[in-house]
Amino acid sequence: MNLTRSYGRVLTVFVVALTIAVVCGCNKAKESKQDPQDEAQAMQAAQQQAAKVAELIQGARTAFDAEQYPDALTAIDKVLLVDAANSEAAELRSEIVVAQKLARALPLKKKAEARWSKVRTLSPDQGFAQSISSIETRLNEAGAAFDAADYDVAINTYDGLVTDCDTLQELAKDRNSAAVLRENSEQMWKRCVEADAEHDAPTLWATALEFELNASTAFENGNFADAQDVWKKSFDSFVAAEQWAVGVQAVREVEQGYADDLLRAREEINLDKFGGSAWGQTTDMIALSARLVAEGEWQQAATAIADARMLLVKAVQRAKEEKHRQAREFAVSRLEEALAKAKELLVFAEQTPKRQPGKGLPFLVEGLGVLAQCRNTSWYGVLTAAEIKSIESLKHQILLERFHFLFPDLVAVTTARMASTANLAPGSEVAQSRQSELASLVGFPVEVRTRKSGILMRLIPPGSFIMGSRKNELYAEPDETRHTVTITKPFYIGVTEVSQRQWRSAGMRNRSCFAEVDSELPAENVSWNDAVTYCDLLCRSEIAPNGSYRLPTEAEWEYAARAGTQTAFYFSDTYDKLDAVAWHAGNSGNRTQPIGTTAPNAWGLCDTIGNVWEWCMDSPAVYSAEAVSDPVGSFDGFRAIRGGSWDEAPRYCRSANRGLAQPSGLRSFDIGLRIIREIDGLPQ
């Protein structure tokens, strides 16, 4: 195409030159007749005409290249109007006409092939075989004409194929619609057979069968639109036949149905006592049906009995509602009496000094008994969820008041939230659920604070755990033999290590190396003897029984620190997340850090690993592989310290890691303490 157009441009130049030469020759022939001025004007006109022809041809080519075929033809036709013998223009016009036809034929070809791709999926055995074969043959013929550049034939054939394919598609849709209606009619025919319409509605049955036969004939003859109309009539006739048969049979069936319903209803509820007006309407409807039966109005009689059955359902429902209403009135009145009595006993208890549990507890025990009796009554089952919640709420208040009588040195933290277990090791969720269950069972708060010093403590449930480290645990030590330990009693333990402020509040001298006034930094530079003295002073200042506050045993410490986990740390076996839960040599900045600033374990305890070592009550004993309960080491020589510290490598922060130190005299900038509050005498 490019070579042809280049040749065309050369030819244009040649034509222009030839025109000029002819003009010049003519001028020479007439030089005797024309003066030089006329010759110049003729020469100029010839040049202008040649330039105009070249411009039009170039414009035609530009429009042709842009596939603007109408514009290209207009331009080239102007050239031929001026110069009919211009071969370049004639050749270019032929190219434009062919391209224009191709541009029209190609979309039609694609459109026809797309229609064919849908038509060819039609099943030949549905009566479309001949049409599909004809379309396929013509499509091949059109393709051959297209390939031979016979675009006029191709265009006409493709255009006809699109129309024929669309017609066949519509015909197929009509057939499918007719097939759906046939299936619907057949389903209704089956239902009429089941309803025995042939005997109970013979006229409608015969009419429906005739329509069915006519529709099938039209369908087989390819008259799908007619088949649709007749099958609709067939369907409607079958529906009418079924309804007629069911109406005739209804009287025979509904009477027995109503009798059965009434028998069951009387077994459930006393309709005469609780049924009210709904029951009266039911009996009136039954009386009406009896009159209709006597008059031979079978359909109306069946309808009346069916209505009576529905009314009976309403009557039963109304009777149950009325019975429930009366029961609710009784239950609410008894509940109000029970709540008022329990609240009165709670007020008596609240007015009793907490240091006189012998006087206050009997009120609370009696109040709990009053609430417990509610569950054993006949009316408890009709209480609403909100009313039951009111019982539980008051029970919780009484249990909390009982707790304060039992442990007057502790105050419940009602705003406490359970720790998130999302990023903790397996076993954390189970451990936390045991903590919640214990709190609910005995009515003890999950979190408390000491009344005077404000130490936050968490409830630790009893249970068994595997103490020590696994053989494949990184940095495991020989003295960490795994064995099963059972902690038989619950206890409260500090949420954090004892702070310097809490240490001083009990009257202890703050010897901390990182001492600050009223500091929330952990108390450190503390000997074991200092820690024991602190616990004794705390018992006095909080007015708690001697020994109530103490250091944890090594077993209690690891049980609380693990919080149900068996991994090296309570979040995992790896060290990559240690910075979030522990202050160690790698992130502490070479000093202690404020307590409670790290992520807690499942039981809500912070800083069990890192920050400062924590004194234990007993000496580190040699582990046995045998299971033990509430083990306590000796009190000879060294005492156990656990948890690692701010100046230790991360491996010393493992839950199983064990340390030891001299109990007296030795004070160190990285040893502090966490305390336990015993809760012996757990109520049943």
Sign, CA torsion 109/114/115/116: positive
Burial class (CB in 10 A: 0-12, 13-18, 19+), 141: middle
304 & 433 share domain: no
Domain assignment present for 578:
yes
In this prediction, residues 357-379 reach a mean pLDDT of: 88
- Residue pointed to by tokens 């034939």: 153
In this prediction, residues 305-322 reach a mean pLDDT of: 88
Structural contact between residues 134 and 179, judged by C-beta atoms closer than 8 angstroms: no
Domain assignment present for 119:
no
Domain assignment present for 258:
yes
Q: What is the pLDDT of residue 682?
A: 61
pLDDT in tens, 561-572: 999 999 999 999
- Last residue of one domain, picked from the residues 85, 114, 138: 85
- Residue pointed to by tokens 């069915």: 212
Domain assignment present for 380:
no
∠ CA 16-20-21, rounded to 5°: 115
- Last residue of one domain, picked from the residues 28, 55, 85: 85
Domain assignment present for 140:
no
Structure tokens at 33: 């007749």
Range of the domain at 471: 428-678
User: How far apart are the C-alpha atoms of 228 and 533, rounded to whole Å?
Assistant: 101
299 & 440 share domain: no
At 5, is the pLDDT very low, low, confident or very high (cuts 50, 70, 90)? very low
User: How far apart are the C-alpha atoms of 326 and 318, rounded to whole Å?
Assistant: 12
Q: What is the pLDDT of residue 33?
A: 47
CATH of the domain at 479: 3.90.1580.10
Other CB atoms within 10 Å distance of the CB of residue 259: 10
How many structural domains does the chain have?
3
User: How far apart are the C-alpha atoms of 474 and 650, rounded to whole Å?
Assistant: 11
pLDDT in tens, 50-77: 888 888 888 888 888 888 888 888 888 8
198 & 75 share domain: no
pLDDT in tens, 116-161: 887 777 767 666 777 778 888 888 888 888 888 788 888 888 888 8
Other CB atoms within 10 Å distance of the CB of residue 350: 14
Collect all residues with Cβ–Cβ distance below 8 Å to 490 and sequence separation of at least 6. Answer: 438, 444, 459, 460, 461, 462, 679, 682
636 & 488 share domain: yes
- The pTM of the full predicted model, rounded to 2 decimals, is 0.57
- If residue 228 lies in a helix (H) or strand (E), which one and from where to where? helix 224-268
pLDDT for 293 beyond 80: no
**How big is the chain, counted in residues?**
684
User: How far apart are the C-alpha atoms of 560 and 458, rounded to whole Å?
Assistant: 10
In this prediction, residues 599-605 reach a mean pLDDT of: 97
pLDDT in tens, 549-596: 999 999 999 999 999 999 999 999 999 999 999 999 999 999 999 999
467 & 601 share domain: yes
Collect all residues with Cβ–Cβ distance below 8 Å to 166 and sequence separation of at least 6. Answer: 115
At 49, is the pLDDT very low, low, confident or very high (cuts 50, 70, 90)? confident
In this prediction, residues 398-406 reach a mean pLDDT of: 88
Domain assignment present for 253:
yes
434 & 550 share domain: yes
Domain assignment present for 33:
yes
**Distance separating the N- and C-terminal Cα atoms of the chain:** 105
Mean of the per-residue pLDDT values of the chain: 87
- Last residue of one domain, picked from the residues 66, 85, 104: 85
pLDDT for 668 beyond 80: yes
Domain assignment present for 616:
yes
User: How far apart are the C-alpha atoms of 679 and 144, rounded to whole Å?
Assistant: 100
pLDDT in tens, 214-225: 988 988 887 888
Structure tokens at 434: 């045991």
Burial class (CB in 10 A: 0-12, 13-18, 19+), 136: middle
∠ CA 104-107-108, rounded to 5°: 80
Report the greatest alpha carbon distance in the chain: 155
Q: Give the DSSP per-residue string, 644-660.
A: --TTS-GGGGSTT-EEE
Structure tokens at 97: 């006409």
547 & 667 share domain: yes
Per the DSSP assignment, residues forming a β-bridge with 467 are 483
Collect all residues with Cβ–Cβ distance below 8 Å to 256 and sequence separation of at least 6. Answer: none
At 507, is the pLDDT very low, low, confident or very high (cuts 50, 70, 90)? very high
Nearest 10 degrees: Cα torsion 594, 595, 601, 604: -130
At 449, is the pLDDT very low, low, confident or very high (cuts 50, 70, 90)? very high
Q: What is the pLDDT of residue 251?
A: 80
In this prediction, residues 303-322 reach a mean pLDDT of: 88
Q: What is the pLDDT of residue 271?
A: 87
User: How far apart are the C-alpha atoms of 334 and 331, rounded to whole Å?
Assistant: 5
Residue type, 659: G
At 1, is the pLDDT very low, low, confident or very high (cuts 50, 70, 90)? very low
In this prediction, residues 497-508 reach a mean pLDDT of: 95
User: How far apart are the C-alpha atoms of 377 and 391, rounded to whole Å?
Assistant: 14
For residue 661, give the nearest of 624, 629, 615 by alpha carbon.
Answer: 615
Nearest 10 degrees: Cα torsion 374, 379, 382, 383: -30
pLDDT for 314 beyond 70: yes
- If residue 466 lies in a helix (H) or strand (E), which one and from where to where? strand 463-467
Collect all residues with Cβ–Cβ distance below 8 Å to 578 and sequence separation of at least 6. Answer: 569, 584, 586, 650, 653
